[in-house]
Structure 1
Amino acid sequence: MRIGKLLSFLLTSITAGIAAAIVILFLVPGLLQNNKPPEPELNRSDAEEQITRQPGPFSYADAVSIAAPSVVNIFTATITTERQTLRFRDPILQHLFGDSLPEKIRQRRDTSLGSGVIITKDGYLLTNHHVIDGADEIKVVLANGHSVNVSLIGSDEESDVAVLKIDDEPNLPAIPIGDSDTQRVGDVVLAIGNPFGVGQTVTMGIVSATGRTHLGINTFENFIQTDAAINPGNSGGALINARGELIGVNTAIFSKSGGSQGIGFAIPFDLAEGIMRQLIASGQVVRGWLGIQGQDVTEKLAEAFGLHAVEGILVTGVLEDGPGSLADMRPGDVITEVNGVRPHNSHELMQLIANEPPGSVLKVSGWRGNAEFTVDVISQERPPSTR
């Protein structure tokens, strides 16, 4: 009897325990998961909405054959005259007759190389300012090896753009022009130039970034960045898309060794074109100027100066009797708009002002302390670069 009662008690207890466990797990299902975190929800693309990717060409030879005839080699020479006074070895003779000795004149010839791109059939070509800067002689060799005479039409140091004109050569191979504004990161590009003077060379890469500024290369910057190899001698050459159309002028690299390390920069043709047209028309580039200095407003700057918001460009200097000063602009003003356009940084502000011809009235808006202000500023011509 006792054994039967004990078994009955154990069975009753086990049954009650199982029932209680079932009830608890039903009411609190999370206990089955041992407090595991929820599974991540991945943003999987709908197969029907996926972009159809077309395979790229196996060769870019067609693009190169279209653009390569328009890319030229540029050789420059700078002649430096040095004067050397002859001297006697004997100090007594030097003292007595030294002034009667003639001067020895010697000329030193320094050469450099670069590239250029033929833009029009009548011979206008683009290159970089630094390729021809200070040159006493400029020689251009076409892709077919023919040497031609050129004249310098104009050069702009602040954008590093120069325009040359090939003389007496009709029906030159002008390069097709693409739209540099539509380039996207990841687009295939080809760089054509004359690296190290070895001859016309083509390298391939992609657009690594667009709109690169604040690099300290030029005053006005809006570079296309690419990993296509750009080396000394490539400056002024063509950056083309996969259709053989010009989208930029190769200009500079970031390198610790002096050779390509996958970070090259090209001036977008859309920017170079406006400068080219001014240089052809007048031989110089005229830009607007307000005579102010500024820097981007950051959180720390806004906190330090008690600014209204973290936006705009803080005016840090106003040139006395300059356009900004005459319009009562003051250090400490924060500019948020120019002619209704909101610049995102000081570079964009400078570009907005420079794009307006001298004599234009610019409506400048922003904050002065906690109050809004708007002034009309009559721009003047930007002074020559002091870089």
Structure 2
Amino acid sequence: MKKIIGTLGIAFLGGIIALLGYKTLVEEPQVIVEKQTEPTIETVKANYTPTVVNATSTPTDFTEAADKTVHAVVHVKNTSIRTQQNPWAELFYGSGSGTRKYEQVGTGSGVIISPDGYIVTNNHVIEGANDIEITLNNQKKLKATLIGADENNDIALLKVEADFELPNLPFGNSDYVNVGEWVLAVGNPYNLTSTVTAGIVSAKGRDLTGNKNIDAFIQTDAAVNPGNSGGALVNTRGELIGINTAISSRTGSFIGYSFAVPSNIAKKVVDDLLEFGSVQEAILGINIDVEATDIAGVKIKAVSDESGAKKAGLKEGDIITKINNVKITKFSDLKGQLTAKRPGEFVNVTVDRDGEELVKAVRLTKLVELPISKVLQTEFEDITKEDKRKFKINAGAKIKRTQNLAFKQFEVGEGYILTEVNGKKITSAKEAVNILDKTYGSGKTLYLVMISPSGQLERFRY
């Protein structure tokens, strides 16, 4: 028994010695290195984009813009001579005794646009004036001369002479004005000089019924009252972006909305008045489908022959969605863009043609006022080269539109070409109108020779 225990003890001791020898002589020491690693984060795309609010993107302090503007906005006083008739005085005291002349004074605002004294205002502020006087912000008074006016866009240009440079406002680009943007209206309501009100742009391209051809107002909620007409609408940088023109009111005073002619239109009118003495209206050469009101854009109903639109490849049914980079959603947007352009300029017209987007470079042409025969209530235009080839004629006057009941009764209308009046050959639309009105106005019968759109020669006695 002792022998067995001894043998086991020797074996156990031998194992310990062998293990210690292996650790010391054979096995390499292990080195443990601690290493810190960044945790791996798995990113997942969110299904929304958070809105970042930058509170400093738009200044709420308008003192700098106001200071730039008030010195460039003037008070405009117009004096006109009116005549009043008293029929009772004429009856009892003789001819001329009932006539009385008196002065009528109107007021408004204007904006100095150049250091040498050019001032832009509204046409209705100075219309019919015999004398115009402007008052600067420092109360200095100067006589003004009317350079020109455009009734359709309600813009007039004045000039004053001064022996010093006048404070003035630079034109801004009204195409870049955004709905919701802060604006200031500066003018002289109720003869209160240099009044500044603030608001935001409420809408663009606003079409107001009854305001003639102005179809692209900037609408704001800045307070505008009588006397503000012709004043400045400026952005927070003090740039002129509009000429305050109208208010929406049943009382004659501000009740929430005001309207301004965009600066791009005002500047174009001013440039035309200075260079040509009248406004040069630019057109694409298309007719609009006014019944297509359920689309985002303006649908082309017809393209005029020899127009810029025709040459550029625009077609009936195309839907205009942009002019250059400006979005077009309704006719007033299109009208506003064209009113700010000149004949001869090129514009990039983006159209939707059966779902395909196309861009056409169109050279704008000048709108020509067509002669209208008052006695026949008919508008004529000169015939085209195509008309001459088609009907084998050298001259004539083509009916553009007519309200004449007799013509309508015999189905005479658009496309008919007038070639003779009482045996005299017609060479142009203007000549046709002159002969028709002069002859029929003298009581004489009109003998007309016309060519129908189908080429038939027809004769009429009127």
Same fold (TM over 0.5): yes
Amino acid at match of 2:109: S
Report what 1:73 is aligned to.
75
Q: Which residue in 2 is equivalent to 1:313?
A: 299
Paired residues of 2:74 and 2:111 also in contact (CA < 8 A): yes
Residues 207 and 216, structure 2, Cα contact 8 Å, conserved in 1: yes
2:331 match: 346
Contact 2:298–2:321 (8 Å) recurs in 1: no
SS in 2 for 1:261: coil
In the alignment, the residues of structure 2 paired with residue 88 and residue 144 of structure 1 have an alpha-carbon distance, to the nearest angstrom, of: 51
Match of 1:62 among 44, 61, 64: 64
Q: Render the CA deviation track for 1:240-268: whole Å, top value 9, x for unaligned.
A: 22232222111111112211112111122
- The structure-2 alpha-carbon separation of the partners of 1:358 and 1:294, relative to structure 1 and needing over 3 Å to count, comes to farther
Measured in 1, the distance between the counterparts of 2:343 and 2:160 equals 30
Name the CA shift for 1:323/1:153 in 2 (closer, same or farther; >3 Å).
farther
Bigger mean CA deviation after superposition, 168-177 or 226-235: 168-177
Alpha-carbon distance, 1:230 to partner: 0.3
Q: Distance in 2 between matches of 1:220 and 1:134?
A: 21
Q: What is residue 319 of structure 2 aligned with on the other side?
A: 336
Structure 1 residue 337, shift from structure 2 partner: 5.2
| Structure 2 residue corresponding to 1:297, chosen from 292, 298, 301 | 292
CA deviations over 1:322-347 (Å, ceiling 9, x no partner): 988xx9xxxxx645359997964333
Match of 1:119 in 2: 113
CA distance in 1 between partners of 2:337 and 2:170 (Å):
29
| Paired residue secondary structure (1:173) | coil
Whole-Å separation in 2 of the counterparts to 1:126 and 1:205: 22
Distance (Å, rounded) in 1 between the aligned partners of 2:175 and 2:363: 30
| Compared CA separation, residues 269 and 298, structure 1 to 2 (3 A) | closer
- The 1:298–1:112 alpha-carbon spacing in structure 2 relative to 1, beyond 3 Å, is same
Q: State the distance in 2 between where 1:353 and 1:52 align.
A: 36
Q: Which residue of 2 aligns with 1:162?
A: 156
> In the aligned structure 1, how far is the partner of 2:47 from the partner of 2:245?
41
Q: Residue type of the partner of 2:96?
A: E
In the alignment, is the contact (CA less than 8 A) between 1:296 and 1:314 conserved in 2? no
Which secondary structure state, in structure 2, belongs to the residue aligned with residue 164 of structure 1?
strand
- The answer for unaligned runs of 5 or more in structure 1 is 1-41, 90-97, 300-308, 328-332, 368-373
Query: Which residue does the alignment assign to 2:263?
Result: 269
Bigger Rg, which one: 2
User: CA separation in 2, counterparts of 1:377 and 1:145?
Assistant: 47
How many angstroms apart in 2 are the aligned matches of 1:262 and 1:295?
Answer: 30
1:357 aligned to 2:357? no
The one of the two structures with greater contact order (alpha-carbon pairs below 8 A, sep at least 6) is 1
Q: Specify the code of the residue in structure 1 equivalent to 2:293.
A: T
How far residue 282 of structure 1 moved from its aligned partner, in angstroms, is 1.8
Partner-residue secondary structure (3-state), 2:270: helix
C-alpha distance in structure 2 between counterparts of 1:168 and 1:216, whole Å:
38
The structure 2 residue matched to 1:226, chosen from 220, 224, 230, is: 220
- 2:245 is matched with 251
Shift in alpha-carbon separation, 1:103–1:168, aligned structure 2, 3 A? same
What is the letter of the counterpart of residue 67 of structure 1? Answer: T
Q: What's the % identity of the aligned pairs?
A: 33
How far did residue 365 of structure 1 move? 9.3
Per-residue displacement from partner, 1:57-110 (whole Å, max 9, x unpaired)? Answer: 564223222211100000112212245564576xxxxxxxx8xx4422310322
**1:140-195 CA distances to partner (integer Å, 9 max, x unpaired)?**
11111111011111111111111111124431111244333322222221111110
Distance in 1 (CA, whole Å) between partners of 2:226 and 2:71 is 20
Q: Distance in 2 between matches of 1:191 and 1:116?
A: 12
Alpha-carbon distance in structure 2 between the residues aligned to 1:170 and 1:270: 28
Letter in 2 for 1:178: G
Q: Take 2:171 and 2:100, find their aligned partners in 1: how far apart are those partners? A: 46
Pair 1:165–1:294, CA change in 2 (3 A): farther
Residue 96 of structure 2 is aligned with which of 92, 97, 103?
103
Determine the structure 1 residue equivalent to 2:207: 213
Contact 1:122/1:169 (<8 A) preserved: no
Q: Is 1:383 the counterpart of 2:366 in the alignment?
A: no
Gaps of 5+ in 2: 1-45, 311-315, 354-359, 373-462
Q: TM-score, normalised by structure 2?
A: 0.56
TM normalised by structure 1 equals 0.66
Asked if the contact 1:323–1:380 (Cα under 8 Å) also holds between the matched residues in 2, the reply is: no
Shift in CA distance, 209/43, structure 1 to aligned 2, threshold 3 Å: farther
- Of 278, 281, 285, which residue of structure 1 is paired with 2:272? 278
Deviation at 1:139, TM superposition (A): 1.2
Contact 2:133 2:141 in 1 (8 A): yes
Deviations 1:273-314 (A, max 9, x none): 111111111221011455956515035xxxxxxxxx997436
Q: Which residue of 2 aligns with 1:128?
A: 122
The one-letter code of the counterpart of 1:336 is: I
Give the distance between the partners of 2:296 and 2:69, measured in 1 at CA.
46
Counterpart-to-counterpart distance in 2, 1:165 and 1:285:
18
**Cα distance change, pair 323–76 in 1 and its aligned pair in 2 (3 A):** farther
Q: Distance in 1 between matches of 2:47 and 2:191?
A: 51
Distance 2:296 2:114 in 1: 46
CA RMSD of aligned residues (A): 4.2
SS across alignment from 1:283? coil
Q: 1:283 to 1:257 in 2, by over 3 A?
A: same
Q: Does 1:194 align with 2:182?
A: no
